[in-house]
């Protein structure tokens, strides 16, 4: 397993110098937002809470209290020609009464890096890297399963070159590498995969705020056991529209033509869209949605067709009080050689931050996740309550 993790690490690092649309949720929307008013930020937090269903079991729920911490930092800077940002975070958690088969001590970490370089007035290069070690499902990535099963390593790096041929017509050419590697060897054998994706987009600016796009993508995915290997062609059309400098929407719609190595071809609709809105530092709103094939996270599944959508909002109520809320919905359809079943997952999280002394902030949060399924083993409900203090 260590060899697989090292391979994913090296591959992501090698592609760093070389962002375009990955099929993961990280690719949806724009990636050219570089905030330089506060170039460096950091935070250290300590807290605790209660988890109603640590093992995410359908009929044998196990609750436990826990203590947790976090360390995070980010830096962004640049000018009109070159801008970049880098961030990292680490979050450990210790359960006082973890059930059998679940580690008492769990931790997650991630790093991200983005750079934009204008070579000349016509040519712009972009790169976006995200690398994470997780023990919980991350619905914003859209790569792991609906329930906690095993720690995993996820990496995605996307490079693109944009060239303006005329004032209205431009092209974007790129390559993305992404993959997931599970820590457990048995799970890794059937669910570890790597994906290469080539991307070519033709863009035409109808106005200063609206641009049309025709997109072709070619994807190759390889699983450790070879069962889920496939190639896909995407033919898409869409629009990017700026309602204002801080409000932006984008969508692509079309079809995916998938050819599975284990037999069978299929064509299905594909859609992705995003919307972002901000007002100074007081209000931030983001939405994303995607409909299409997903890489399967269930052993023996021939394919997985999903609808994913998520909405997050942050609001600064006063100079001391702020809040945030996020909700994700996922509908999965799994096909097997001897049948099929469907999952519906809803994940809700809310939080409040209160600055009670200079750079000290009191945090409280609540999250709820529920999964309903044709497969009773996959069903579960989970509540989590947290409270803590953060210094920044």
Tokens of 88: 């990292």
- Please tell me whether residue 63 adopts helix, strand or coil conformation: coil
Query: Between these two residues, 3 and 106, which has the higher pLDDT value?
Result: 106
Cα diameter, the chain = 64
The dihedral through the CA atoms of 297, 298, 301, 307 has a sign that is negative
Q: What is the pTM of this model?
A: 0.86
CATH code reported for the domain at 2-391: 2.40.160
pLDDT for 151 beyond 70: yes
Q: Which residue has the higher pLDDT, 256 or 373?
A: 256
Q: What is the pLDDT of residue 36?
A: 53
**Residue 31 confidence (pLDDT) above 60:** no
H-run or E-run covering 317:
none
- Under the banding of pLDDT at 50, 70 and 90, the label for residue 33 is low
Q: Is 349 helix (H, G, I), strand (E, B) or coil?
A: strand
**Do residues 54 and 211 touch, judged by C-beta distance below 8 A?**
no
Q: How far apart are CA 142 and CA 160, in angstroms?
A: 22
Q: What is the pLDDT of residue 62?
A: 92
Average pLDDT, the chain: 87
What letters, b where the CB count within 10 A reaches 16 and e where it falls short, cover 101-130?
A: eeeeebbbebbbbbbbeeeeeeebbbbbbb
- Work out the pLDDT band at 18, boundaries 50, 70, 90: very low
Measured at the CA of 166, the angle between CA 162 and CA 170, to 5 degrees, comes to 30
Centre a 10 Å sphere on the Cβ of residue 139 and count the other Cβ atoms it contains: 23
Phi then psi for 147, rounded to 5 degrees?
-135, 155
Q: Which residue has the tokens 């994807």?
A: 219
Domain boundaries along the sequence of the chain: 2-391
Give per-residue pLDDT as tens, 67-101. 999 999 999 988 889 999 999 999 999 999 998 88
Cβ atoms of 179 and 164 closer than 8 Å: no
């Amino acid at each position: 397993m260590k060899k697989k993790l090292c391979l994913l690490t090296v591959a992501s690092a090698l592609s760093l110098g070389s962002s375009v649309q990955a099929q993961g949720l990280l690719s949806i929307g724009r990636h050219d937002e570089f905030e330089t008013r506060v170039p460096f930020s950091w935070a250290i937090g300590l807290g605790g809470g209660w988890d109603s269903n640590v093992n995410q079991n359908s009929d044998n729920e196990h609750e436990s209290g826990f203590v947790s911490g976090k360390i995070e930092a980010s830096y962004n800077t640049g000018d009109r020609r070159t801008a970049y940002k880098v961030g990292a975070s680490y979050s450990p958690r210790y359960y006082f009464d973890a059930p059998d088969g679940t580690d008492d001590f769990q931790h997650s970490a991630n790093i991200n890096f983005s750079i934009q370089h204008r070579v000349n007035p016509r040519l712009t290069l972009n790169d976006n890297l995200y690398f994470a070690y997780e023990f919980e499902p991350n619905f914003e990535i859209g790569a792991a399963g609906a329930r906690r099963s095993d720690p995993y390593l996820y990496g995605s790096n996307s490079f693109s070159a944009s060239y303006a041929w005329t004032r209205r017509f431009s092209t974007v050419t790129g390559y993305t590498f992404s993959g997931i590697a599970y820590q457990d060897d048995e799970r890794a054998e059937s669910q570890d995969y790597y994906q290469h994706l080539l991307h070519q987009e033709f863009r035409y600016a109808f106005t200063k705020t609206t641009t049309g796009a025709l997109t072709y993508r070619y994807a190759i995915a390889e699983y450790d056991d070879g069962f889920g290997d496939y190639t896909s062609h995407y033919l898409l059309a869409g629009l990017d529209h700026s309602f204002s400098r801080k409000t932006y929407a984008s969508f692509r719609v079309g079809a995916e033509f998938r050819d599975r190595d284990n037999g069978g071809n299929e064509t299905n609709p594909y859609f992705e869209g995003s919307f972002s809105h901000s007002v100074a530092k007081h209000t931030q709103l983001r939405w994303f949605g995607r409909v299409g094939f997903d890489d399967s996270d269930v052993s023996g599944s021939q394919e997985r067709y999903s609808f994913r959508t998520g909405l997050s909002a942050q609001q600064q109520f006063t100079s001391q009080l702020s809040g945030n809320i996020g909700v994700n919905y996922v509908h999965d359809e799994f096909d097997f050689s001897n049948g099929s079943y469907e999952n519906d997952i809803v994940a809700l999280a809310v939080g409040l931050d209160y600055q009670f002394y200079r750079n000290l902030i009191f945090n409280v949060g609540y999250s709820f996740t529920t999964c309903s399924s044709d497969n009773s083993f996959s069903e579960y409900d989970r509540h989590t309550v947290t409270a803590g203090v953060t210094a920044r």
